[in-house]
Amino acid sequence: MADKCTENYGADVFSEREIKRFLPKTVASKLLATMRQGKPLDPSIADAVASGMKDWAVGCGATHFTHWFQPLTGGTAERHDAFVEPTGPAMAVSRFSGKNLIGGETDASSFPSGGLRSTFEARGYTAWDPTSPAFLKRHENGATLCIPTAFCSFTGDALDMKTPLLRSIQAVSRATERLMKKFGQPKAHVEITLGAEQEYFLVDRRFYMKRPDLLQTGRTVFGAAPQKHQQLDDHYFGAIKPRILKFMTEVEERLWRLGIPAKTRHNEVAPAQFELAPMFESLNLAVDHNMMIMEVLKQTAERHGLVCLLHEKPFEGINGSGKHCNWSISYGGRNLLTPGDNPRENAIFITLLLAIIRAIEMHADILRMTTAGAGNDHRLGANEAPPAVISVFLGDELNAVLDAIERDVKGRVGAGRAPMKLGVDSLPPLPKDTTDRNRTSPFAFTGNKFEFRTPGSSQNCAQSQMVLNTIVAESIDALCDKLDAAKGGFNEKLQKLLRYEVRAHKRVIFSGDGYSDEWRKEAAKRGLPDLPDTPSALAPLKDSRNIGLFSKYGVLSETEMHSRWEIGIGDWRRRIRIEAGVALEIARSMIRPVVADEFSRLATAIGQARKDRLKVGVRGLTALSLKLGAGLDDLHLKCDRLERALSRDAPSAQISAMNDLRKTVDRLEQLVDDGKWPLPKYREMLFVY
């Protein structure tokens, strides 16, 4: 039997194999070199590349091509052009030129630019990113050739997520090369790696269609928690139901065709919540692949009568969804965050580790910024996701190592472990295999990589990775500068430097329970920034220190940072407004009529019962009608309050009025006849699929 995993793996990618098949030999080798080294494409081969790429795509059933990019709205964007070109009356050929491949010009007036582009200069430009291979998006009637591109304005400002990401990869690669040179390492290729674990919910489409809130906002603005939800932890890693497995299998088949290394699948903590994790890949490619994963999840769900919810918090009181970003740096194919086999490698490991700790300690605010958003606001700090305070978890073993460095202790660390010598005499030996786990930390070292757990499930990981790369680049450079400036032998200088860095930045290290209230207090005492909501989390984009840093590394200019602030705050305001509007509409046009009906039915029944001088039942009916009547009055008042908040453009008033209204509606849900409640309930949506 055919091997289902490998049979069609990468079949929809213009891969090395296809490049060699469809391009002349010299062109193929030039293109492959470009792809590997991330260099700009030699324009003289563009026509040949385009022609071969088109032949491959057309042979696979493609009729159109598109420049595929990642605008600042989130999600991906595409505009299709057909290959067809008429050559005479009723005659045509398929054509795709080098010009079509390398760059495109598109009307960008409806993409947000945050003030970067005035409407009269509405053109946007897309440019091929050859480091991410072209691929095919299939549909029932054919396919579209997708060319991953960067997207910028006429003035060269980045209007997308990819451009700054690529700039940041360059920045951290340069800094890493510099560091490795200091350690006498031969020049080698730096690769930043990302493995993004994607969480999501699935609900039956029939329920979804009856929930205007899910349809319009991606989350439920009403809904009482069911009696049983996740208390028993019986969903996490449980047996996967056949219908879900069928869905997952199709998702994986599609992803494998796209060369996306989907590796693990499992039930998550909340009912109806799942996770898909690919093998890690080169960062830029991994980001593109995560965007494709989200799209494939959504589209495949539809084919199975399901809806995939990528919102960070679709159900109140139930765990939300995140996107854990596992990040590392490799040099010449060796993961630099793996404690090494020899003293030199260990010294490199510790130095890099401290550079990262320093980066997080000094720039936690701007890293937190990358996870801002209306959806993630519900999730962070809600006892299920990391708090909004960014701290670093290292584990006992590494904590002991840093402690020894700080106190200048010599000898073994980590009882019972095989000690490893660092290149610097007075550095303690380093324990291998540090596998401690702390699920409550936003930024955790997990043995050979850092896992950033704050990003939300719907967010493009390019944003957080771009910032992480840049702050780490700055930190590595700062350590290198200090080594350059210091006097004495290398080992001695390094030893001194590391000791200083531990002291200066250790306040960001935290090993305890990140979900606890004590930690918030402790973090405040340590002076770590606590940015609990979108407006406060976006503010660091306007901080001159951050602006200086990002322009120094050429990752984001001041105007680009400002535009991101504007887009972020605008998006947040609009989302809150839509949610508040939807809540008001549902409360008034769906909930209120049902409650009013039920109330008047009861009132009539009570009147009749009294008239008939019934001895029983009147008390029960009266008690219920009192509760319903009070609820109805409450509903009326709270709807009016929400309406007033909506008429003033005040998001925080809208949020509080919406939360308040929710309490009333959720109480009514438990009073009104189950058969008459107009919205599918949590216990249905979360358990019936």
In the complex, the residues that contact Mg ion under the rule CB under 5 A are 324
**Is 183 or 515 the residue whose CB approaches Mg ion more closely?**
515
- Does position 385 interact with ligand ADP (CB under 6 A)? The reply is no
195 binds, among ligand ADP, Mg ion, none (CB under 5 to 8 A by kind): ligand ADP
326 binds ligand ADP (CB under 6 A): yes
Q: Which of 106, 328, 459, 511 binds ligand ADP (CB under 6 A)?
A: 328
Establish if 195 lies at the interface with ligand ADP (CB under 6 A): yes
DSSP 8-class letter at 373: S
- Measured N-to-C along each axis, helices 162-182 and 461-485 cross at an angle, to the nearest 10 degrees, of 30
Q: Which is nearer to Mg ion, 324 or 379 (CB)?
A: 324
Three-class DSSP labels, 287-327: HHHHHHHHHHHHHHHHHCCEEEECCCCCCCCCCCCEEEEEE
Question: CB of 446: closest distance to Mg ion in angstroms?
Answer: 7
The closest residue (CB) to Mg ion is: 324
449 contacts ligand ADP (rule: CB under 6 A): yes
DSSP 506-556: GGGB--S-TTSHHHHHHHHHHT--B--SHHHHHGGGG-HHHHHHHHHTTSS
Tell me whether residue 265 or residue 667 sits nearer to ligand ADP (CB atom): 265
CB of 660 to Mg ion, least distance (A): 36
Which residues inside 249-308 make contact with ligand ADP, applying CB under 6 A?
277-280
| Binds 259: which of ligand ADP, Mg ion, none (CB < 5-8 Å by kind) | none
Q: Contacts with ligand ADP in 155-194 (CB under 6 A)?
A: 193-194
62 or 192: CB nearest ligand ADP: 192
In whole angstroms, give the CA distance from residue 392 to residue 484: 28
The C-alpha atoms of residue 548 and residue 183 are separated, in whole angstroms, by: 29
Identify the burial level of 482 via C-beta atoms within 10 angstroms of its C-beta, where 0-12 means exposed, 13-18 middle and 19 or more buried: middle
- Residue 289 or 506: the one with the smaller Cβ distance to ligand ADP is 289
Phi and psi at residue 527, in whole multiples of 5°?
Answer: 80, 20
Beta bridge partners of 172: none
Contact between 216 and ligand ADP by CB under 6 A: the answer reads: no
Give the span between the Cα atoms of 463 and 373, in whole angstroms. Answer: 12
User: Based on the number of CB atoms within 10 Å of its own CB, is 243 exposed (0-12), middle (13-18) or buried (19 or more)?
Assistant: middle
Question: Smallest distance from the beta carbon of 357 to ligand ADP, in angstroms?
Answer: 18
- Taking Cα atoms as reference points, which of 255, 136, 160 lies closest to residue 198? 255
**Helix then strand then coil, % of the chain, to nearest 5:** 50, 15, 35
Minimum CB distance to ligand ADP smaller for 194 or for 422: 194
- Does 33 bind ligand ADP (CB under 6 A)? Our answer is no
- How near is the Cβ of 193 to ligand ADP at its closest, in Å? 4
Count CB neighbours of 418 within 10 A.
11
End-to-end CA distance of the chain: 32
> Residue 112 or 322: which CB sits closer to Mg ion?
322
- Residue among 293 and 308 whose Cβ is closer to ligand ADP: 293
- Closer residue to ligand ADP, CB minimum distance, 326 or 495: 326
Residue 280 interacts with, from Mg ion, ligand ADP, none (CB under 5-8 Å by kind):
ligand ADP
Nearest residue (beta carbon) to ligand ADP? 195
Among 448, 536, 557, 622, binds ligand ADP (CB under 6 A): 448
DSSP secondary structure letters along 413-448:
-STTSPP---SSTTSPP--S------TT-SEEE-SS
d(CA 205, CA 302): 8
Query: CB of residue 437 vs ligand ADP: minimum separation in angstroms?
Result: 7
Torsion 157-160-163-165 (CA) sign: positive
Residue closer to Mg ion, measured from CB, 255 or 325: 325
We find the least distance from the C-beta atom of residue 333 to ligand ADP, in angstroms, to be 11
Minimum gap (Å) between residue 436 Cβ and ligand ADP: 12
From ligand ADP, Mg ion, none, interface partner of 449 (C-beta below 5 to 8 A by class): ligand ADP
Task: Using CA atoms of 542, 548, 549, 550 in order, give the dihedral in degrees to the nearest 10.
Answer: 70
Q: Which residues bind ligand ADP (CB under 6 A)?
A: 193-195, 197, 277-280, 326-328, 335, 448-449
